Amino acid sequence: MKYLLDVNALVALGFLEHEFHQRVALWVRRLAAKGTPELATCSITELGFVRVLAQAPQYGFTVGQACDLLQQLKTARTVNFTFIADGHDISHLPGWVKMARQTTDGHLVRLAAASGAVLATLDRRIPEAFLIPVER
C-alpha cells in the first residue's frame, strides 16, 4: 500500500519534537516490519512542510533548513518515498467538500487515489483518508 502523507503527518514524521512524532514514527516502523513502506509526497505536502517549519517560531527553522530536513527524510533508507505529480484541477474535488478549509484535504484524497495511494492523516474528519492509529 502506498500512502500520501498530508502536511501534518509529514511534519510529525520529519520533526522529532512534534507532538505526534511518536505516533507517526511508530506507524511507519510497523509498516517497515512488513517490508519497506511506500510513502509519498506531492507539491502541496512538501511546500506545507517547509511553510509550517519555517513559519512557526517555536520550531526555529529557516526555509533552507526545512528543505534540507525534508530532503534527508525523503532519502532515508528505511522508507521508500515517491513523489506524486499533481495534474488535478478543481473538477476533481469530492462532493463532501463544502467549506473552504476542506479544499486541500479533498484535493489530496483524490490525488492520492488517482495515484493508487491513500491519504494518511492525523485528522479523523477527512472522509476516504486513512487515520494514522494511536497506539496504546
19 has a pLDDT exceeding 80 = yes
Instruction: Tell which wins on pLDDT, 115 or 36.
Output: 115
pTM of the model as a whole: 0.93
60 has a pLDDT exceeding 90 = no
What confidence tens digit (pLDDT) does each residue in 83-110 have?
999 998 888 999 999 999 999 999 999 9
Computed over every residue of the chain, the mean pLDDT equals 94
In a domain, 18, yes or no: yes
Identify the residue whose cell numbers are 509550517. 52
Identify the residue whose cell numbers are 490525488. 111
For residue 42, the enclosing domain spans 1-77+111-122+129-136
CA distance 75 to 96: 35
In a domain, 95, yes or no: no
Instruction: Supply angle C-alpha 14, 36, 38, rounded to 5.
Output: 60
- Is residue 39 a contact partner of residue 83, using CB atoms and an 8 Å limit? no
In a domain, 2, yes or no: yes
CA distance 106 to 100: 10
- Is residue 9 a contact partner of residue 129, using CB atoms and an 8 Å limit? no
The C-alpha cell that represents 24 in the structure block: 507517526
Number of compact structural domains in the chain: 1
In a domain, 84, yes or no: no
Tell me the pLDDT band of 136, cut-offs 50, 70 and 90.
Answer: low
Residue 5: Cβ within 10 Å count = 29
In a domain, 29, yes or no: yes
In a domain, 92, yes or no: no
In a domain, 90, yes or no: no
In a domain, 94, yes or no: no
- Is residue 84 a contact partner of residue 115, using CB atoms and an 8 Å limit? yes
